[in-house]
Amino acid sequence: MKRNIIFFTLLFKCALLSAQEEITAKITIDENSNLQVTQVFNENNNDFYLFPKEVSLNPTEFKFLREKGKLKEYEIQNVNNISFEIITNTSKLNNDFLITNLKYTGTKSKDFFDLKKFNLDISSKKYNIIFPSKDDLKETYTTSPKIVAGNFNFFEENGFKVYYLENEKEYLDEMKKANIGMSNSFNYYSKYFGEKRKPKIVFAPNNEASETTENLIVYNSDVVKGKNKENTISHEIGHIWFGQDGIIIKERPLTEGIAEFLSMKYIITQLGEKQLDVSINERLYQLEGEKSLHNLKEKDLDLKKSLSLSYRLLPMYFYSRQLRNSNFINELSELYKAKEKERKTSLEDINKLFQSKGYEIISTDELFPDFYISDSITNEISIISTSEKSYEVEIGIIDSNNQKSIKTLTFSKEQKKQKINVENINKIVIDPSYKILQISRLNDSWSKNDNNVFNRNRYFKIDSNEDIAFFSNEVANFLSRKTENISDKIIISSQVENEFKELRNKNFKKILTGGVTSYVEKNNSIFLFFSFNDENTNQATVYKMILKLDSEKTSILSVKVEE
């Protein structure tokens, strides 16, 4: 009986292998780093194929059907082989190496997402081929493996084979430190999601974001030039499970958001929560005004929305869920193991799986709440909720003896305001651990000795530069109607003045509840966020302003306002 089981198991594996699409191609890298490709087909081939959009095939031989995103679909009939050229974008490379940025083989439309066997003959008179090697081609891939070639050295530690350019060997010690981070994060994720093979690692100055593909991670070598960035290293390792090398989620922001969340979790275990505070603050600072995950439901996210969701909103969304439910990372583990063989899923599939196991779904409709501090009477403040839902909110308190404590307040549709006596309190912070994702955190702090609108946020104090502080406070005082005009010490055009007046009039019946300001020297600009609350509707609105200054920092040349 046992022999029969073994026999049928082998037979099944053979059947799978025989059913697997095989792609055979000869690729020559020419003197201009372009790819000259000849792809070989089976005899009497008749099928529909997807090719990179950049490839133009002879219309007399191949019937063009339609464009599909970044691909073109053709009908191919009775063709033994096909030759074409892939033009390499060399603007982000140098003469020492080549990393392909485009797919370079055609794939049967019906097999596009399936694992395939690639029989590739890659040659170059100019470069040494680093990836894919003959051993790498023993693995299966869903799409043509990225080609890496050049004058690379390598070392092998902690199970990773790491390649670096000869002219960057001065950074070898930093790369070895990064290798430790790769190993530690790999081991950390393996505890939850299971063991995987370790990909090849390449460091190169390719002026691109670091990227994980199948069996390969390419890090922009800027990652290790100077201070090592644990976040980037561990983020890419996370993609071994969630990404091109693991399960692919139809909504790409989810894939990136999960990898970034895993990186955050890993960094906490390595460096402690205090080390993550700056990173969290930066994410939240960029999130001011986001009200929900609604954009995830859009079929065609533009780059700006995708980045905001992927690297700012979703990691914090998952992080807040983890703080409320320590089992959340195990829920992701269940998701991975359920979808591992399929290697692809979607938000809809994820939510169906979560619902079947009694887990909280990833909600795109629920609006985030907002909580803000309002002065009431002497020795009393109010904390106000803008949400119709019920929340238990932690309040961090530092008393007059500098003793810290946590108080929990309950808010509901009926109870939207809670009062706190502050006679013996020096400071109050709403939701100090970030358990609840809010529309704004621009008025989450109260200090007995500091009532500046720019010091009520969770990110950073008003810029110590006196000019920047002066500009920021003048704008805040005008918008909050504390002054009727912006100081005559600041030169503004009538157009800029009208912009300020229009924003002030638009929010005439609203209260400016908080703000944050930062100066970007490179652009000579002040970036301002202001939160307003409408007492009639109890809704929060956040505006982002960019003030472009002159070189002497005496004039506001232009103002840009976004809601």
How many CB atoms sit inside 10 A of residue 140's CB? 16
Q: What is the pTM of this model?
A: 0.88
Whole-number Å distance between alpha carbons of 437 and 321 = 9
Query: In the prediction, which pLDDT does 299 show?
Result: 75
Nearest to 149 by CA among 131, 133, 161, 170: 131
| Across 388-405, average pLDDT | 94
| Across 251-280, average pLDDT | 86
Whole-number Å distance between alpha carbons of 503 and 61 = 61
Query: In the prediction, which pLDDT does 11 show?
Result: 38
| Across 123-144, average pLDDT | 94
How large is the C-alpha radius of gyration of the chain?
28
| Across 290-296, average pLDDT | 90
Whole-number Å distance between alpha carbons of 64 and 539 = 52
Report DSSP state, residue 309.
Answer: I
Indicate the helix (H) or strand (E) that contains 354.
Answer: helix 347-356
Query: In the prediction, which pLDDT does 93 show?
Result: 79
Angle at 539 between CA 534 and CA 542, to 5 degrees: 90
Query: In the prediction, which pLDDT does 218 show?
Result: 96
Nearest to 490 by CA among 451, 452, 526: 526
How many CB atoms sit inside 10 A of residue 155's CB? 14
Whether residue 323 contacts residue 432, with contact meaning beta carbons closer than 8 Å, is answered with no
Whole-number Å distance between alpha carbons of 48 and 322 = 45
556, burial (CB in 10 Å: exposed 0-12, middle 13-18, buried 19+): buried
Whole-number Å distance between alpha carbons of 113 and 423 = 64
Distances (CA, A) of 219 to 94, 209, 234: 16, 7, 11
Which pLDDT band, with edges at 50, 70 and 90, does 284 fall under? confident
Give the whole-number percent of the chain exceeding pLDDT 70: 95
| Across 345-353, average pLDDT | 94
162-174 pLDDT, tens per residue? Answer: 999 999 999 999 9
Q: CATH classification of 371-450, choosing from 1.10.1760, 2.60.40, 1.10.20, 1.10.3470?
A: 2.60.40
Which residues are within 8 A (CB) of 51 and not within 5 positions of it... i.e. 6 or more apart?
57, 71, 72, 73, 74, 84, 106
Nearest to 500 by CA among 462, 508, 535, 531: 508
Nearest to 118 by CA among 96, 99, 141: 141
Taking each helix axis from N to C end, the angle separating 466-479 and 494-506, rounded to the nearest 10 degrees, works out to: 50
52-92 pLDDT, tens per residue? Answer: 888 888 887 788 999 988 899 999 888 888 899 998 888 87
Domain boundaries, the chain: 20-146, 248-356, 371-450, 466-562
Residue 180 structure tokens: 């430790």
CA dihedral 433, 259, 159, 10 (to 10 degrees): 130
How many CB atoms sit inside 10 A of residue 316's CB? 23
pLDDT at 17 over 80: no
For 552, phi then psi, to 5°, come to -85, -5
Q: Is the peptide bond before 132 cis (omega within 30 degrees of 0)?
A: yes
pLDDT at 314 over 80: yes
Report DSSP state, residue 196.
Answer: -
Whole-number Å distance between alpha carbons of 467 and 525 = 12
Which residues are within 8 A (CB) of 280 and not within 5 positions of it... i.e. 6 or more apart?
264, 316, 319, 434
Which pLDDT band, with edges at 50, 70 and 90, does 18 fall under? very low
Query: In the prediction, which pLDDT does 44 show?
Result: 66
Indicate the helix (H) or strand (E) that contains 217.
Answer: strand 216-220
Buried b (16+ CB within 10 A) or exposed e, 159-184: ebebbbbeebeebeebbeebbebbbb
Distances (CA, A) of 93 to 100, 148, 207, 370, 544: 10, 12, 8, 46, 36
Question: Average pLDDT, whole number, for the chain?
Answer: 89
Which residues are within 8 A (CB) of 553 and not within 5 positions of it... i.e. 6 or more apart?
467, 468, 471, 524
CATH no., domain 466-562 = 3.10.450
